[in-house]
Structure 1
Amino acid sequence: MSHSQTLGQRLRQQSTAALLGFAALFLSLSVAISVGAVQIPLSTVWGVFANQLIPDLVEQTWSQGREAIVWEIRFPRALLAMMVGAGLAIVGASLQAVTRNSLADPHLLGISSGGAFGAILALLHTGLFIGLLTVPLMAFLGALMATAIVLGVTRFADAASADRLVLAGVAVSFIIMACANVLIFLGDPRATHTVVFWMLGGLGLAQWDQLVYPLAILVLSGAWLFTQAGSLNAMTVGDETASTLGIPVTRFRRLVFVAGALVTGVMVAFSGLIGFIGLMVPHVVRLLFGGDYQRVLPWSALLGAIFLLWADIVARTIMAPEDMPIGIVTGLTGGVFFVWILRQRAET
C-alpha cells in the first residue's frame, strides 16, 4: 500500500471517529436535557430549542412549564457540564505533558482547591464587589495563587522530579482546603449553606447570562493550548529535548500552569470542586488515539464533555427527585480509576 493510500485511509478513520464522537456528544446532550425528575420527550427538547432560535418554527404541543424546564434549567446546565468537562480534561492533559507525570491533574496539584478558596472568600467575606465577575475573578486568583505556591514549594524543597511535584501539589491542596475551612468557620452561618455547592460540586446554578464567562475562557485558553500541541509533545520527551528544539522550557511550563489555573479557576467558580476528570479522560484518550497532542487535546475536550454530561445524568437520576452532588459521582469514578492507574504503573 502506497504512502498516499495509507494517509487517505488514516484520514477516513479519523473522520469516522470524529463523526461518531460528535454523534455521541449530541446524543449525550439530548439525554441530559430529557431525563430527570420530569421526563421530557426528545421531540419536545429540540422543538423548544428550534422555537427559541426561530419563534414559531415548530408547532408548540408542550406546556409552558416544560418549556421552562428545558430552556431555563436543563439546557444551560448541560452546556455548563460540557464546558467544565472539556476544560478540566484539556488542563489535565496539558499538565501531564509539562510535568511528564500521568498522575498530574488540576485537582491533585491544588489548582482546584485554590479556585474553591477564592470562590469561598468572595461568597462569604468580600461580597460581589464587581458584580457577577467577582466569583470567577477570585476563583482564578485563588487558582493562580495555588499554582505559584506549588511551584514555590517544589523549588524550596528541591523537588524537581515529576512525582515530587505531584506530592507538593497534594500537600498544598490540603493546606489550602484547611484555610478554606477556616473561612467557612468564620463566615456567616446563614450563608455557609451556599458553600456546600463549591465543596461538593454541582451544576444546578447554571444560567444563560453567566455561560459567556466559562465559554470565553475555554475558547481562548483552549485555542492557545491547541496551538502548543507540538511543544507539549516535545515536553513529554524531556526538558533537554524540548530545549534543543528551541522551546523555553521553564517559561512554557509556567504559561501552561497559568492557562490551567485560568480555566480551572473559572470552571470551579461555576461548578464547584469536580475532581479526577483531568486525570481520567487524557488516559482514556491516549489509550484510544495515541499520545500525539494534536489528537490528545481535542479528543480530551470531546470525551471530557461527554463524561461530565453522563456524570450529571447519574447525579440527577440516582436519587431523583433529589440531585446528588456531581463531585461525588466523579470522585467515586475517579478514585477507582486512580487505583487502576497505580496498578498499571506497578506492573510496568
Structure 2
Amino acid sequence: MTEVATPRDVAAARRPLARRAAALSAGLALVGTLLVVVSGAVGSVEVTPVQAAQVVVGHLVPGMPWMSDGSLTPLQDQAVWQFRIPRVLLAGLAGAGLALAGALMQVTVRNPLAEPYILGVSSGASVGAVLVIVLGSAAVGGLSLNVAAFAGALVACGCVAALARKNGALSPTRMILSGVALGSLFSAITSYLTISTDAQNVVSVLFFLLGSVSAATMPNLLGPAIALGVSCAVAAGLARSLNALMTGDESAASLGVDATRLRAVLLVVASLLTGTVVSVAGGIGFVGLVVPHVARICVGADHRRTLPVTVLGGAVFLMAADLLARTVAAPTEIPLGILTAIVGAPFFLWLMRRDGADRAGLGR
C-alpha cells in the first residue's frame, strides 16, 4: 500500500532546508560585511582593515572617539569613505539586483537558463548610454547617461512585452525569442555607434559595456538601493505565487494565480533592476544566471527560501569579483564583466557536473 505524505510530513521535510537557508543567509551577510571592510583597506593608500572599519563606523556614528585619536589621516579617510566604500557597496547592490532579476526571469519564462540579458533589457540600456557617450546628452533630449540607460531598458521591456503577447497573454517562448532578437538588434546599434565615433569615445563605450563600479560615489547608491528595496518587497510578497507559477499556468490558475498578470509584474520588476544596475555599473553578465542556480541547489526551489539567499549571494559574488578586479592585475583594473565570466563559467560548469546539480532545475 502506497503511503500518502501528510502536511505534517511535508513540513518536517522542509525544516532542514529552512534552517539551512537561515544559516546560509546569516553567513552570506557576515561575509559581505567582511568584504566591505577588506575592500575598504585595499588600495594605493595604505589602510589596515581595522582602520577601514574605524572610518566606516566613524562616519555612520559621528563623534566616536577613534575618529579623533590622530591615528587616521585625512587622505586615508578620503580614500576609504569617498572612493573604496562606495564602489564595494555599489558592487553589492548591483550583484544583488542582477541575481534577483535572474531568479525572477527564470520563473517568468520557466527556463532555468534565463537571465536578465536574455530579454534584451541590458542591450536596450546600453543603447541609451552609448548614445549619450557618442552623441552627447542632446541626442536623447538632454538626459544624463544614467537616465538614458534606464530609459533604454524600459523601451526594451515594452517592446518585448508587446511582441510576446499571444491571444491576450504573455507567452514565455515568445518572450525569449523576442528578447534574443531585440538584444541582437540593440547590440548591432551599439556596435555601429561605437565604430562611428572617435578613439577616446570607443574606450569609454567598451569600458561601460564590460562593466565597472570604479566611478561609484555615495549619490550613485541611491537609485540601485531604492530599486532593490522595492523589488525585494514585491518579490517577497509574491513568493508563494512564484512557486505556483513554476508548476505551470494551469496549475497556477487552479491555485488562484493569474499567470499573465504575474508575468507582466515580474517582467517590469526584472527590467527595473537590470536597467538601474546597467545605468550605474554597465554590462555585467553571468550573475543573474549563476547565483539563482547555486541558491536553488543549496536550499531548494521554494522562493521563500531561495530569494533571500539569491540576493545576498549575488551581493557577495560581485563584491568579491570587484575586489579581485582591483587586485589580481594591479595597478591595471579588470572590467567586472570579464571577471564574472572567467570566474563564473567554470564554476557553473563544475556545479552542473555535481550529483546534486539536477535540483537546480525549476520546479524540481
TM-score by length of 2: 0.84
Opposite residue 55 of structure 1, the aligned amino acid is G
Any residues of structure 2 matched to 1:172-251 within 5 Å, and which? 172-187=182-197, 189-251=199-261
**What CA distance in whole angstroms lies between the structure 2 residues aligned with 1:70 and 1:129?**
37
Contact 1:118 1:141 survives alignment (8 Å): yes
Opposite residue 65 of structure 2, the aligned amino acid is L
Contact 2:28 2:316 survives alignment (8 Å): no
Corresponding residue number in structure 2 for 1:291: 301
Any residues of structure 2 matched to 1:88-107 within 5 Å, and which? 88-107=98-117
2:33 is equivalent to residue 57 of structure 1? no
| Structure 2 residue corresponding to 1:279, chosen from 280, 285, 289 | 289
Corresponding residue number in structure 1 for 2:153: 143
2:47 is equivalent to residue 40 of structure 1? yes
| 5+ long unaligned stretches in structure 1 | none
Q: How much has 1:61 moved relative to structure 2?
A: 0.8
Deviations 1:7-58 (A, max 9, x none): 8877655543333222111122222222234452111101111222313521
Corresponding residue number in structure 1 for 2:333: 323
Corresponding residue number in structure 2 for 1:24: 31
3-state SS in 1 of match to 2:117: coil
**What CA distance in whole angstroms lies between the structure 1 residues aligned with 2:256 and 2:310?**
27
Change (3 A) 1:306 1:182: same
**What CA distance in whole angstroms lies between the structure 2 residues aligned with 1:68 and 1:77?**
13
Opposite residue 121 of structure 2, the aligned amino acid is I
Deviations 1:74-100 (A, max 9, x none): 000010001000000001001111211
Corresponding residue number in structure 2 for 1:84: 94
Q: How much has 1:236 moved relative to structure 2?
A: 0.8
| 5+ long unaligned stretches in structure 2 | 1-7, 354-359
**What CA distance in whole angstroms lies between the structure 2 residues aligned with 1:57 and 1:203?**
32
Decide which moves more: 24-33 or 10-19.
10-19
Corresponding residue number in structure 1 for 2:81: 71
Q: How much has 1:231 moved relative to structure 2?
A: 1.1
**What CA distance in whole angstroms lies between the structure 2 residues aligned with 1:265 and 1:52?**
30
Deviations 1:143-190 (A, max 9, x none): 12223333444458xxx8756643543332222111112223344654
**What CA distance in whole angstroms lies between the structure 2 residues aligned with 1:339 and 1:6?**
29
Decide which moves more: 286-295 or 176-185.
176-185
Decide which moves more: 169-178 or 69-78.
169-178
Q: How much has 1:68 moved relative to structure 2?
A: 1.4
Contact 2:164 2:172 survives alignment (8 Å): no
Opposite residue 183 of structure 1, the aligned amino acid is L
Change (3 A) 1:180 1:338: farther
3-state SS in 1 of match to 2:144: helix
Aligned length: 344
Decide which moves more: 19-28 or 126-135.
126-135
Change (3 A) 1:3 1:276: closer
TM-score by length of 1: 0.87
Contact 1:144 1:261 survives alignment (8 Å): yes
Q: How much has 1:70 moved relative to structure 2?
A: 0.6
Decide which moves more: 207-216 or 124-133.
124-133
